[in-house]
Structure 1
Amino acid sequence: MRLGALKCLLPVVAVVTALVWLGQTLWTLHGERSERAVADALAANREVQPPDDASGDLLFARAHFLLVRDRIDEAQALVGRIVERGGPPVAAKFFYDVGNARARRAVGAIESSQINRAIPEVRLAKDAYRSALKADPQLWDARYNLDVVMRLVRDFPELEAAEEETKAQPKKLWTDLPGRPRGLP
């Protein structure tokens, strides 16, 4: 009698299992479709916010959208979620884009002779490229761009530490900004 009851329940269990699997698959497809719609809107230059449970790739697409438009502070607010959800490859791309945005700002400031505004941007670009290389040491574009921005502003750590002590001295005649590099390294 027990075996007969089990044989009757077997089709019901199979149908319920199939319905649960179908529901889960449809839910996943719906999520992927909505993420694709947001990514397509960002690619079409429309201002769209990703959902709270967005993947790392979608958050990176939003950050890239913001960085291209020189909205660096808004993009950097996404860094925690991008690193957490996207892993090292997506984090490396994000930091590389941040470095590029900072380098563009620095070059713009140099071209308009705003040296004091360019120096911190160059240093932030260096930090971003170094973070990209920590996440992905094989990212050669970040290595190359780091080399280029390192030529924009020299690093003098011993001078930065002694800078507080020498505030009473006259201004330096030689700036930290030797000039914009031209051509290949």
Structure 2
Amino acid sequence: MILRRSKLKWLFLSLIIILSIWLLQTAQLWFEGKKVNHTLNMLQAGLYIEEGEIDLGLPNTQFAYAYHLQQHNMFEAAVDAYGKAERVSEPQQLKYIYFNMGNLYLEQAIKLAEQMGIDRATALADVAKDLYKSALKVEPSFWPAKYNYEAAQRLSRDLPLGELQEGNDAEESSEELWSAMPGFPLGLP
């Protein structure tokens, strides 16, 4: 089969067009990656960065900014940023968002429990448990979420109900042999 000169020109021209489209897409991905890396480096520097100073258009940068707010102990702003990241994230990234949000709520619950805000601490621990459950629905073998779910469960179980009473009554300890997690624990007698 002999290719005519006109067919050869069209074949060569289509090959050049396809190659230039691929090259443009590759360059665009490279520039986006460079922009995301610059944003992540700014967030890792440790200084507080306002929301308007960086581009939060991509899910990875939105998630990193939410974590940045969490590191600066800005509870409400971090919860809001994680909520925004949840709406634009891919399904596999949702487990990390739920896990970090659960950590955020669990940290707040522990702080309130230490300050004797028992009712609010129990409510925050319950929210944390729900978020860990959501992370485990996305990936059931996500061990950090299982561990923190157990910690949140123990925290809400071990907090006293109602007003704190001073006394020598022994409370139920969280040093039990058996876990409160449903299912049969492995490795115990």
| TM superposition score normalised by structure 2 | 0.70
Compared with structure 1, are the counterparts of its residues 66 and 172 closer, same or farther at alpha carbon in structure 2 (3 Å cutoff)?
A: closer
Counting aligned pairs with the same residue, the percent is: 22
Structure 1 stretches of 5 or more lacking a match?
156-170
Select 2:89's aligned residue among 79, 85, 91.
85
Aligned-residue RMSD, C-alpha? 3.3
Q: How does 1:43-122 map to 2 (within 5 A)?
A: 43-46=44-47, 47=49, 49=51, 51=55, 53-54=57-58, 56-77=59-80, 78-79=82-83, 81-82=85-86, 84-88=88-92, 90-122=93-125
- Alpha-carbon distance, 1:181 to partner: 5.0
- Alpha-carbon distance, 1:52 to partner: 5.2
Q: CA separation in 1, counterparts of 2:74 and 2:28? A: 34
Report if aligned partners of 1:63, 1:75 keep a CA contact under 8 Å in 2: yes
The 3-state SS of whatever aligns with 1:154 is helix
Q: CA separation in 2, counterparts of 1:182 and 1:61? A: 36
1:149 equivalent in alignment to 2:127: no
- Alpha-carbon distance, 1:173 to partner: 6.0
Compared with structure 1, are the counterparts of its residues 22 and 173 closer, same or farther at alpha carbon in structure 2 (3 Å cutoff)?
A: closer
Select 1:136's aligned residue among 134, 139, 142.
139
2:83 aligned partner, one-letter code: V
Report if aligned partners of 2:85, 2:97 keep a CA contact under 8 Å in 1: no
1:62-91 CA distance string (max 9 Å, x none): 222222333343333343643653213x21
Report if aligned partners of 2:43, 2:68 keep a CA contact under 8 Å in 1: yes
Q: CA separation in 1, counterparts of 2:107 and 2:162? A: 26
Q: CA separation in 1, counterparts of 2:64 and 2:162? A: 43
In structure 2, what is the equivalent of residue 32 of structure 1? 33
